[in-house]
Amino acid sequence: MAGLKGLKKTRRIQIILVAFVALGLSTALIGYAMKDGINFFRSPTQVTTMPPRPGEMFRLGGLVEVGSLVRNQGDTITFKVTDTKTTVPVSYKGVLPDLFAEGAGVIAMGQMQDSTFVATEILAKHDEKYMPKEVIDALKAQGVYKASGS
């Protein structure tokens, strides 16, 4: 009878160990599968002070600098994104969202090529009061954010 209890205890410990290994393996596989889907946000100041790795995809956010929007021939558009301290030139090939405007908040997803951010996707505010949380946080960190109605 004592041998049976020891066997049950050993079997239970083996099952628990296998469960932990399976849990760890599945967590590692999920993390590996999601690594390309995670895009970090950076402000223009962060891009210039801590340059991204070559080919790294990330989101650049800030305000579209007034007077910087240039519609080139074809469907290439260039503009500058600023956090009022630093400015980063952006190039985008495609159709801009309807609410994209100079002086408005914007988040662009893409990568740096030389000193220009080449965007693959542009997200603009969806109403006159909205600004992405990351942009507000970056502007607050610079000490230049003023809430609407202030």
Q: Is residue 43 part of a domain?
A: yes
Which of residues 44 and 150 earns the better pLDDT score? 44
64 with 136, same domain?
A: yes
- Alpha helices per DSSP H over 35-129: 44-49
DSSP state of 115: T
Banded model confidence at residue 150, pLDDT cuts 50, 70, 90: very low
* pLDDT 10s digits, 113-131: 988 999 999 887 655 555 6
57 with 127, same domain?
A: yes
Which of residues 111 and 136 earns the better pLDDT score? 111
Q: How many domains does the chain have?
A: 2
Tally DSSP H helices, then E strands, for the chain. 3, 7
* pLDDT 10s digits, 22-50: 999 999 998 888 776 666 888 898 888 88
Query: Domain of 28?
Result: 2-36
The pTM for the full model equals 0.63
What tokens appear for 145 in the block? Answer: 């954010």
Q: Which residues pair with 80 in a beta bridge?
A: 89
31 with 52, same domain?
A: no
Contact 125, 96 (CB under 8 A): no
